[in-house]
Amino acid sequence: MSDLYGVERLPLLRASEMAEIERRAREEHGMPERLLMESAGRAIAAVVQQLLPEGRVVGAVGSGDKGSGTHIALRTLRSWGREVLAVQAADRPPDPALAHRWDIPVAPRNRAEAALASAAVILDGILGTDSTGAPEQGPARLIEAVNGSAAVRVAVDGPSGVDLSTGAVPGVCTRAQITVTLGYPKLGLLFQPARAMCGRILAAEIGLPPAADDEVSALVITPDWAKALLPRRAPDAHKGDAGYLLVAAGRKGMAGAAVLAARAALAMGAGIVRIASDAANREICQTRVPESIFVDIDDDSALAEAGEWAHAVVVGPGFGQDKLAGKRLDRVLQVTGALPVLIDADGLNILAGRTGELAQLGKTRPVAVTPHPGEMARLLGITLGETRIDPVAVAAAAARHLRTAVLLKGAPSVIALSHEPVLVTSAMSSAAASGGSGDVLSGAAGAMLAARMPRREALGVALFYCSRAAQLGPVLGRSSLQVLETLPAALENPGAGAPPLPFILFDQPLPR
């Protein structure tokens, strides 16, 4: 489970954004570059000493700040009594001035394999943070030697060979068991295929100034952020204060979509839920969600009354994509007027050929959409592969083009709204990859909209708690209903405890 310790706002940076923040630290705040390198190196050393306290530490020391930080980490560990060895990973040997007169032996690159064979811990400082493209022959051979070692591999800032901005792995890369990312987490590390190469990710604070929203592409959704936004009921609250939600879902034979969405909304605190569904689903819905009120979706007067009553609407789960489904969607959108609306699943597939209508809808009311990559591809007229190259950029482009708040599902999922940093979930589990999980998420987000929460925040809070619920239990054999039934536990236990070290901001094991 991910933990972010006492942090409500944590930037998630591309390499260029990190470079700009470091420049500001030097030029506007008077922080010498050497001081930042010292802070970084000592943070790496402290993590190694805390988590891996025994055995020789061998550092593959490349050029630039990453190599310097690795060398400083070795010197710090040496001063604490650890046996250390540096391996030259660049054309020039490490700067001896960084050793502060401590005796740190240096093995040349052509003796790297023998040096690495003696290691209990390897620090990967081979390629710099701004490195993109496949590693050249020399670094690639060293990376392969690191991967072939039986030692615990610790990546400095990010594994060598990984694009820290996008998560791309264009060639060979270090397969780390631990990654210590410096200052702020790097955006690409949370996305595949890079995520699988990072192991446990720890973000270490090194004294950088705070980043403003206009300086960052994305923010991590933290437990403290989600907890702070979750609606709290006053002692004298009534159902209307918690919000009335209309869930329009489920063609004949697809009552499960309506049931999951409605139950998730109630679990997240909705005051009353009305289910507008095919008349054939009445018995199932009223049996499985007895707290809800059933509305025949084809009864125009009853649907209109429900539209006037509601504070927000969820439409689309289990709807189908035939002519009748399109007519029902149009009618729901009509009778709910200017209410906040979340459109999911078949609702999005119906609108895929009518994106002009969707963008126009966004001019008249708050709209949120929750596509998976295939639905996003259809909405934007791009390929499925294009949605996965840079999900943050794709979600941001969709939010602008469609005039909506966008939750692009994935591992991790991302949330975009024009003129705001993209939100990225830190809580991930493959248990969420099961039929009906999108219905649960839609209902949870609908409850937040009905509680009068802004769209971006409503999607973020719902995404966090649904993801957290997926983490709280076994991965295999777990259904969406079981994840739904874990939502109350997630609300009570959103995570974040004592950090392993006081400067650790973020701690994410490899997702299961």
Distance CA 32, CA 36 (A): 7
Distance CA 78, CA 56 (A): 10
Per-residue confidence at 8, pLDDT binned at 50, 70, 90? low
Asked if pLDDT for residue 367 goes beyond 90, the answer is yes
Asked if pLDDT for residue 68 goes beyond 70, the answer is yes
Per-residue confidence at 214, pLDDT binned at 50, 70, 90? confident
Q: Is omega for the bond preceding 412 within 30 degrees of 0, making it cis?
A: yes
CATH tag, 3-215: 3.40.50.10260
pLDDT for 283 equals 98
3-state helix, strand, coil in the chain (%, to 5): 45, 15, 40
135-168 pLDDT, tens digit each: 999 999 999 999 999 999 999 999 999 999 999 9
Per-residue confidence at 5, pLDDT binned at 50, 70, 90? very low
Measured N-to-C along each axis, helices 437-450 and 455-471 cross at an angle, to the nearest 10 degrees, of 140
Per-residue confidence at 431, pLDDT binned at 50, 70, 90? low
18-59 pLDDT, tens digit each: 999 999 899 998 989 889 999 999 999 999 999 999 999 999
Distance CA 369, CA 316 (A): 10
Per-residue confidence at 7, pLDDT binned at 50, 70, 90? low
167-211 pLDDT, tens digit each: 999 999 999 999 999 999 999 999 999 999 999 999 999 999 888
pLDDT for 96 equals 78
Indicate the pTM of the whole model: 0.92
What secondary structure does DSSP assign to 101-164, as a single string? Answer: T----EE-GGGHHHHHHT-SEEEEESS-TT--SS--HHHHHHHHHHHTSSSEEEEESS-TT--T
Mean pLDDT computed over 334-348: 97
Mean pLDDT computed over 363-377: 97
Looking up tokens 């009353």 gives: 272
Mean pLDDT computed over 287-309: 98
What residue ranges of the chain are covered by domains with CATH 3.40.1190.20? 225-492
Asked if pLDDT for residue 340 goes beyond 90, the answer is yes
Nearest to 230 by CA among 247, 218, 242: 242
The CATH number of 225-492, from 3.40.50.720, 3.40.50.12780, 3.40.1190.20, 3.30.1360.30, is: 3.40.1190.20
Between 48 and 94, whose confidence is greater?
48
Mean per-residue pLDDT over the chain, rounded = 92
Asked if pLDDT for residue 474 goes beyond 90, the answer is no
Distance CA 329, CA 111 (A): 68
pLDDT for 479 equals 87
pLDDT for 490 equals 94
Mean pLDDT computed over 307-320: 98
pLDDT for 1 equals 43
Residue type, 214: D
pLDDT for 62 equals 93
381-394 pLDDT, tens digit each: 999 999 999 999 99
Per-residue confidence at 238, pLDDT binned at 50, 70, 90? confident
pLDDT for 498 equals 63
What residue ranges of the chain are covered by domains with CATH 3.40.50.10260? 3-215
Asked if pLDDT for residue 426 goes beyond 80, the answer is no
- Which sign does the torsion angle of CA 453, 454, 459, 461 carry? negative
Looking up tokens 């020039």 gives: 92
Distance CA 142, CA 472 (A): 39
In this structure, what DSSP letter does residue 339 have? Answer: S
Looking up tokens 């083009």 gives: 401
